[in-house]
Chain A
């Protein structure tokens, strides 16, 4: 029997008839609902309205049982592949219970969910992976919905994902578990970074790297946090590690060169940018390397060099107006006013682009940075769903109690 350590103490549930009634209503009604996306913020009244029956105050124990029972049903739906229903119902449950104006509400939810996790994880700790992924998915949806004024809910959801990942790693102690947990935290960090929460993202990346020092996605995430916070030396140190681990990682090499430039190491930066600009692959990194190399050369007063770099880049990316604008500005500086003018007139005839520019991509947390981590997680979580279903097949006291209340 594996013992599961619980990080947060279980407070006793206080009497809360409104919330309890809402949860009971939820428990009674959810089974009949179709599997479709749920927006808990669009119509929160749907789950918090007073029930017609049963009425009256519930005991703390009944309340906790109702939440636990609902949580079990949600996990069962998740294990059965009902992704939308499970995620939607968990959002609805959590939204009904947790309120920013009641700090204790999060503890009550945590206690109820933890009780189920103890029970199921105790039976088979591998079930912690799909449960963590459910909370990860719900957190993603909260962010997507823009859960303004729901900070406690966000903290809870993020904390559940993180703690489940860490619990799994700690309890297992295997290298494989460390890799899985590391990727859960990396993916979570990517989400946080996508929504501009740099410091919580950094925490996730740190922990992920601690679990798996070869996790280049986490290293990249952390390097970006450093870069956005002007900690260029730390960014360079991290990017050097990534490039050492994966010399073909173009984006890492680009970021390394740009951060070297910011530190005044312009010769190293120039060399790195030149290699990228000359690379055979023609992608956003190549285009951006050419732009930045030209800028670096301009700053060194080498306008002729900048012109050559940009002319070569324009030949490779003839539909990129930004390169033409930059080339025009360099020619202007050189005094070649008419050539600069002719180039600008050319831009007017260009077909507008529909793709994000390379400069936007550089400044954006791109899903592809964490795609490998998510694919790895999906595969791992999917392979454990049957274990979760099996663990949930044994009814517990909360299920029985909730059935008693419902009848």
Chain B
């Protein structure tokens, strides 16, 4: 008799101990509650399923689910499965299961979900592509989701979001205001940027960054066109040119923004005075999702080599080539114009192009965070169309 009794005590003791270790409180010696899913510490978003196991001899009358103290559901019989909408907020959530027994006693289990760390977002990242499709000189605006094919490192991807260009955009107008832009040129820049602002729609946002070898003016992102226009009005052109530094800054400022992001760089020359090398800007372009459009005032067809105390002409040529590469890889383009009077049209044209882009999203199926380059190919099943989009991205 003593031996079986001892064994029962031992079993009961273990039953009391083990659930405690896994977050279960037992009110009745013979009854236990265990949350099967979601696992401890995992993030919870949107539609969520909670599976509960109740063990013991005593009959269960009801099992309740509380989320952050609020009753979210009840179940009278097994299997005890709850479904609820946790919402999109990236926060910690406390789940509590309360099992009521026939005797009036209760058993409780708890679990805490953790928010997703921002550094981990790349795993869940939706890769968005902004695709310009032209047929001859005109943009092709009659395409549907089924017309597009996306290949990521040669593997076809499933398109999960598809839209046309009327999505809000966030833009940085990055305006070279160096000494060479004095007078008529600066006036042209103001008119061009103003034309862009006038074309913005209610949910669009923009910031203005006027630079030379130093920061001359910057505004926060705003929907208020008047705020941005005021910044444009009172700036004098002065100093040299540091494209890399302020392009990097623009890309960085756009990084936490959602949706379509674009830098519109206006400059009559190339970088001379930056501390950030163009290789860093290129890396930032490849790891981000912003597009770069470069309006090159009096750019001509060929870049003129030059030397400075910072770089010789060969190194400067390399920087220039890398800037061109960053623009093209980002899915933007270079627009060379010869006259100041063409600036307004250039700004309007870019805005129009953005409005007429297809916005395609997919979850890359081979994310490794290994810093490798992912080559993107966008195909359209139509004859005679030209497609322009981001060339790829760094898996980082």
Contact = CB atoms under 8 A, between A and B. Distances in A.
Contacts of B273: 357, 359-360, 363
A340 B283 CA distance: 15
Given A321-B215, A329-B280, A335-B119, A363 B307 contact: no
Contact of A228 (B239, B246, B249, B307): B307
B308 interface: yes
Interface stretch (B1-9, B39-47, B216-224): B216-224
Given A340-B252, A344-B249, A230 B312 contact: yes
A348 B218 contact: yes
Interface in B195-230: 207, 213-220
B249 A360 contact: no
A333 B273 CA distance: 21
Interface string B90-102: 0000000000000
Contacts of B275: 291-292, 295, 322, 325-326, 359
Contacts of A340: 252
Interface residues on chain B, size class: 35 or more
Interface in A324-358: 325-326, 328-329, 332-333, 335, 337-338, 340-341, 344-345, 347-348, 350, 352-353, 355-357
A359 B246 CA distance: 14
B307 A338 contact: no
Contacts of B307: 228-230
Contacts of A332: 252, 284
Contact of A362 (B216, B252, B276, B310): B310
A398 interface: no
Contacts of A362: 309-310
Interface in A227-256: 227-230
B213 A359 contact: yes
A359 B276 CA distance: 12
A224 interface: yes
Nearest to B117: A338
Interface string A361-395: 01110000000000000000000000000000000
Given A322-B275, A326-B276, A338-B118, A344 B216 contact: no
Contacts of B253: 344-345, 348
B34 interface: no
A322 B275 CA distance: 8
B245 interface: yes
Given A357-B213, A363-B240, A352 B218 contact: yes
A353 B177 CA distance: 13
B353 interface: no
A322 B214 contact: yes
A325 B213 contact: no
B214 A325 contact: no
B154 interface: no
A224 B276 CA distance: 23
A356 B214 contact: yes
Given A228-B308, A332-B284, A348-B218, A341 B213 contact: no
B253 to A, nearest CB: 6
B309 A352 contact: no
B321 interface: no
A98 to B, nearest CB: 30
The residue among B240, B252, B280 with the most chain A CB atoms within 10 A of its own CB is B252
B256 interface: yes
Q: Which of B207, B275, B307, B312 has the most CB of A within 10 A?
A: B275
A291 B255 CA distance: 24
B213 A360 contact: yes
B213 A344 contact: no
A345 B220 CA distance: 9
Interface in B62-118: 118
B272 interface: yes
A347 B218 contact: yes
A230 B276 CA distance: 21
Nearest to A299: B277
Contacts of B216: 352
A338 B308 CA distance: 35
Contacts of B312: 230
B255 A359 contact: no
A342 to B, nearest CB: 10
B309 A344 contact: no
A353 B274 CA distance: 16
Contacts of B130: none
B241 to A, nearest CB: 9
9 contacts: A227-B309, A295-B277, A340-B252, A352-B214, A352-B218, A356-B239, A359-B275, A362-B309, A363-B272
Given A325-B276, A329-B276, A357-B239, 11 more contacts: A228-B307, A325-B245, A325-B275, A326-B276, A348-B253, A352-B218, A359-B242, A359-B273, A360-B214, A360-B239, A364-B240
5 nearest A-B residue pairs (beta carbon): A359-B273, A360-B213, A230-B312, A363-B309, A357-B213
